[in-house]
Amino acid sequence: MNAVRVKPPVTGVQPPKLGFTSSSNNGSTVISMKPRCGCRIVKAVRSADVNGQVSHAVTPNGSSSDLEIGNGHAGKPLATVGKSTNIKWHQCSVGKADRQKLLNQKGCVIWITGLSGSGKSTVACALSQLLYQRGKLTYILDGDNVRHGLNRDLSFKSEDRAENIRRVGEVAKLFTDAGVICIACLISPYRTERDACRALLPSGGFIEVFMDVPLEVCEARDPKGLYKLARAGKIKGFTGIDDPYEQPLDPEIILKCNTGDCSSPYDMAEKVVSYLEEKGYLQA
């Protein structure tokens, strides 16, 4: 058996690093990026007053191309949004359409609303599974799950419940901008709050799914024991008992379930998938 000789490392020698070098010539700045091999990848020439506009670039083969550099929002005035002042929206070259093309789907929000115990989370998980099997990317924003982190500082008082929905709506909007099919499943009892979330998205981007399940069915299920506690007076302001639930007036999808007549969660989820197919959300 031949022995394998391992060369000792050479000390005192630093490998070349990927980085940028710059030099000035006649009021222009020349930027070169060099890899470890020492080869030039890109040499970009830009004017000294870069302001977020397209600048001239030289590619490795010497041809010309446009290079997007700068801060992405030059020339736009500072804005005030809510309590945030002196801010600007930073626009990047990779947009929603690019991300949707990458995922081969269209970002949207599927907002599942209904009483506690109506099956919102169960249907959401079934829907996510069906879309996963089709190679589609989803993310579930579950009402209880978001209160473990993002909304852990909120109670169940009316003003906090409103803020809870507002935050979920804003996060859902970000997911759709990423090209993801976002499934939000929350009681969200008031129309005003649901409509406000709908208004955050372009037309057709908010798909309201109403779990039309009678109170007596939900209370008979009572998976968390919350109805029992509410009836005993140990929970105040519980939706359906001593706090109202405002049914959607014109939801995109209604999933009905009555005593002795209730489809399986996967059958309900298939109805949503069919809607997404029909509206073109499962392709870029």
Query: What's 107's domain CATH number?
Result: 3.40.50.300
Same domain, 109 and 60: no
Q: What is the pLDDT of residue 266?
A: 97
Q: Which residue type occupies 214?
A: P
Q: What is the pLDDT of residue 30?
A: 46
pLDDT tens-digit map of 205-249: 999 999 999 999 999 999 999 999 999 999 999 999 999 999 999
Whether 90 is in a domain gets the answer: no
Which one, of 174, 172, 180, 184, lies nearest residue 100 by Cα? 180
Same domain, 56 and 180: no
Same domain, 133 and 271: yes
Rounded to whole angstroms, the Cα distance separating 280 from 284 reads 8
Same domain, 43 and 113: no
Q: What is the pLDDT of residue 56?
A: 41
By DSSP bridging, strand 253-258 and strand 206-212 are parallel
Same domain, 25 and 159: no
pLDDT tens-digit map of 258-272: 888 899 999 999 999
Range of the domain at 62: 21-68
Same domain, 40 and 102: no
Cβ atoms 137, 103 nearer than 8 A: yes
Q: Does residue 210 sit in helix, strand or coil?
A: strand
Same domain, 226 and 265: yes
Average pLDDT over residues 144-163: 96
Same domain, 43 and 137: no
- Is residue 188 annotated as a catalytic residue, yes or no? yes
Whether 79 is in a domain gets the answer: no
pLDDT tens-digit map of 38-90: 444 444 434 333 344 444 444 444 444 444 444 454 566 899 999 999 999 99
Q: Which residue type occupies 114?
A: G
Same domain, 273 and 203: yes
The string of DSSP letters for 35-86 reads -TT----EEEEEETT--SSEEEEE-TTS-EEEEE-S-S-TTPPPEEETTEEE
Identified catalytic residue from 28, 188, 203, 274: 188
